[in-house]
Every structure is written in structure tokens, then in C-alpha cells.
């Protein structure tokens, strides 16, 4: 609703330097004001300021003995942009990096989150948790994105769980994309959104959301340049993994009611597991370490998670899941010094 712009244009025409004193000039300004409110009628019909303006114009017209028909004021000239300001062109609105640079004069900051294996969650703040989280839990829930992971026990009777389903919703953004939903399940990593499309739809900025299949059945990448975000969804063995590089401004666009997000706060305290290796036997532990060392030479938290997953599941594919999670972190992290995390 742009009723405030109509209000400011009218005030500038009647209260600024050289403002009119004659009734006919004031009526011209009122007719311009009325035309402006009519242009905003559809989007402002539920706005109190809009209805106040409409009734106020009628009252002022009566006071000044004005008519609805007649000349109007020419559009008010907009002030020139400040020195160094770069205005947005039509194609830049749905290009987050360019629009951010035009608004702030610098490149945006980025954050990284991942969920893989047991699942292990690396939060936007570089906390690292291993979770039991059975059922459906939100990884992200902000003004632009909703991501939900569904987890099931890795083995019968086990406390450890793995992600078996991912639902990703790109919320409608008026200038750029229609709402798009991507859903992956074990054994089904689609190469398109739920409606069969691979872009953000028919809107002018539809191409600013694009899905591509990197490895059939194993790796899908979704680029959302209109919000400066890239998502990787993978399947390795009997688990799905999720990895994201998101603009900091986007990742932090949520309210108090959206307080449960694993990418923001990690796993709730009561849902965290220790990555200890007790109860598996020395020989098995050594074999798991040797397997993980081939994929993860640095003994960081990715390595520890790999050992834990291989021991709990008995599935060597979990070593691959930890390896690709580290590679995604290498691609998505803005600061290479933050790549390896340690206990």
C-alpha cells in the first residue's frame, strides 16, 4: 500500500515553498491527491490511513468549494539520488547481490548450515549437534524459506535417526517468483519442483529461481539468486542431506514466533546425542576410523560424525555423506578458516 506517498505528495504541494493560497490551486492539488488514492484502492482497501485520506479529501473539497472534475497538478519531481547512489534497473530487483550492493554500497554477508548423517546439524553460528529428532522438524522458517526435515530411526530400537524426507518451500515473492515446493524422499530425488517446473514460474524474475540435477538420484542443486541463496540436496546410502548458503539478511528475516529452527538454534537440548564410541568394540571402532580417514583426512567434527554414523548404522555410505557435507561447506562458507570445527 503506497498511501503514504500520496499523503506526502499532497503535503509537499500545499505546504512547501511556493504553496498555493488560492482555492482553485488547492482544489487541483486535492484532485491529484484523489487520483493517487484511487490508484492505490485495490492494495490499500484494508488500510485505515487510506480510508482516512479518502474521507479527508471529500471534506476538504467541500471546504474549498472544489469540483471532482478539473485540472490536476503535474507529478512532483523526485529528488536526485545522493552522490554515489546506484539505482536499481528492472532486471536487478531479482538479483539479490546487485540490489544489496545498490542499497548498502557493499557485498552481502553469507551464512552456512547443513544437516547430514545421523543427523548432525551445523548451524549458521557454527554450533555442531548430533540429534535424535525423530519425526518432522523445521531446519528453516523465515520470511522467504521454509525447510522441514523428517527423520526416522537408523535401525530398529536405536536412538539415532536419519533424514528420510526433505520439504523445501520457496515463498511467493511478488516481483520475482511464484511459490515453489521441492520434496525429496529416500529413493526419490526429483529433478523438478512439485508442479513439474524447474524455475520460479512466469513472473518477470522467474529465472532467478532455478533447479538442476547434478547427479541423477543423488544430488540436486537449487539456486535462488533473488534471495542470495543456494541449496544442495543429496542422497548417500539410506539418508538424505541438506546444505545451504544463505544471505545473512535472509537467514535472519523471522519473527519471535518462528523460534524453532535447527539451522538457527541447533537441536533442542533434550534431543542431543553424544558422539561417543562406547559399546562398539575396539576393532570395529578402528575399522570405522580407517574408513572415515580415507574420506576425511582432518580429524575434525565431520570426521567424528563419520565414525559415529558408520558404527551406529554399519553402513559405509555414511562416510560419503560426511565427505560431501564437508565439500559443500568448503564451497558455501565465506571464510575458509571456519571450515573445520573441533570439539
Q: Quick: pLDDT tens for 242-292.
A: 999 999 999 999 887 777 899 999 988 887 887 664 555 688 889 999 999
* Residue 209, beta-bridge partner list: 224
What pLDDT score was predicted for residue 254? 87
Q: Quick: pLDDT tens for 30-53.
A: 888 888 888 887 767 666 777 778
Q: Quick: pLDDT tens for 205-228.
A: 999 999 999 999 999 999 999 999
Confidence of residue 22 (pLDDT cuts 50, 70, 90): low
**Cα(first)–Cα(last) distance of the chain, in Å?**
50
What pLDDT score was predicted for residue 26? 84
Domains of the chain: 2-64 (no CATH), 110-271 (3.40.1000.10)
* Residue 182, beta-bridge partner list: 168
What secondary structure, in 3-state letters, does the chain show?
CCHHHHHHHHHHHHHCCCCCCCHHHHHHHHHHHHHHHHHCHHHHCCCHHHHHHHHHHHHHHHHCCCCCCCCCCCCCCCCCCCCCCCCCCHHHCCCHHHHHHHHHCCCCCEEEEEEECCCEEECCCCCEEEECCCEEEEEEECCCEEEEEEEEECCCCCCCEEEEEEEEEECCECCCECCEEEEEECCECCCCCCCCCCECCCCCCHHHEEEEEEECCCEEEEEEHHHCEEEEEEECCCCEEEEEEEEHHHHCCCCCCCCCCHHHHCCCHHHECCCCCCCCCHHHHHHHHHHHHHHCCCCCHHHHHHHHHHHHHCCCHHHHHHHHHHHHHHHHCCCHHHCCCCC
Amino acid at each position: 500500500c503506497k498511501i503514504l506517498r500520496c499523503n506526502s505528495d499532497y503535503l509537499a504541494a500545499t505546504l512547501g515553498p511556493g504553496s498555493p493560497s488560492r482555492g482553485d490551486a488547492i482544489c487541483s492539488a486535492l484532485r491529484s491527491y484523489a487520483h493517487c488514492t484511487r490508484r492505490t484502492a485495490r492494495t490499500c482497501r484494508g488500510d485505515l490511513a487510506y480510508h482516512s485520506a479518502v474521507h479527508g479529501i471529500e471534506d476538504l473539497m467541500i471546504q474549498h468549494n472544489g469540483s471532482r472534475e478539473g485540472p490536476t497538478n503535474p507529478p512532483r519531481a523526485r529528488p536526485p539520488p545522493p552522490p554515489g547512489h546506484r539505482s536499481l534497473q528492472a532486471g536487478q530487483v531479482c538479483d539479490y547481490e546487485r540490489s544489496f550492493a545498490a542499497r548498502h554500497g557493499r557485498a552481502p554477508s553469507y551464512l552456512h548450515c547443513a544437516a547430514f548423517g545421523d543427523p548432525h546439524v551445523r548451524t549458521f553460528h557454527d554450533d555442531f549437534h548430533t540429534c535424535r529428532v525423530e519425526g518432522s522438524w523445521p531446519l528453516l522458517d523465515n520470511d522467504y524459506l521454509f525447510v522441514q526435515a523428517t527423520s526416522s530411526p537408523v535401525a530398529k530400537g536405536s536412538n539415532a535417526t536419519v533424514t528420510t524426507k526433505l520439504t523445501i518451500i520457496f515463498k511467493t515473492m511478488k516481483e520475482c517468483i511464484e511459490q515453489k515446493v521441492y520434496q525429496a524422499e529416500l529413493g526419490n530425488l526429483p529433478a523438478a519442483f512439485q508442479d513439474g517446473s524447474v524455475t520460479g514460474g512466469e513472473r518477470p524474475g522467474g529465472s532467478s529461481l532455478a533447479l538442476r540435477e547434478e547427479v541423477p538420484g543423488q544430488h540436486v542443486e537449487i539456486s535462488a539468486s533473488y534471495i542470495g541463496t543456494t541449496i544442495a540436496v543429496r542422497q548417500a546410502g539410506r539418508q538424505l542431506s541438506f546444505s545451504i548458503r544463505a544471505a545473512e539478511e535472509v537467514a535472519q528475516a523471522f519473527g519471535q514466533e518462528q523460534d524453532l529452527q535447527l539451522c538457527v538454534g541447533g537441536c533442542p537440548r533434550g534431543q542431543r546425542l553424544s558422539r561417543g564410541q562406547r559399546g562398539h568394540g575396539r576393532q570395529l571402532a578402528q575399522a570405522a576410523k580407517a574408513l572415515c580417514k580415507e574420506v576425511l583426512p582432518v580429524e575434525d567434527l565431520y570426521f567424528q560424525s563419520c565414525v559415529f554414523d558408520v558404527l551406529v548404522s554399519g553402513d559405509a555410505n555414511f562416510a560419503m555423506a560426511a565427505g560431501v557435507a564437508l565439500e559443500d561447506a568448503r564451497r558455501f562458507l565465506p571464510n575458509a578458516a571456519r571450515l573445520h570445527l573441533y570439539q
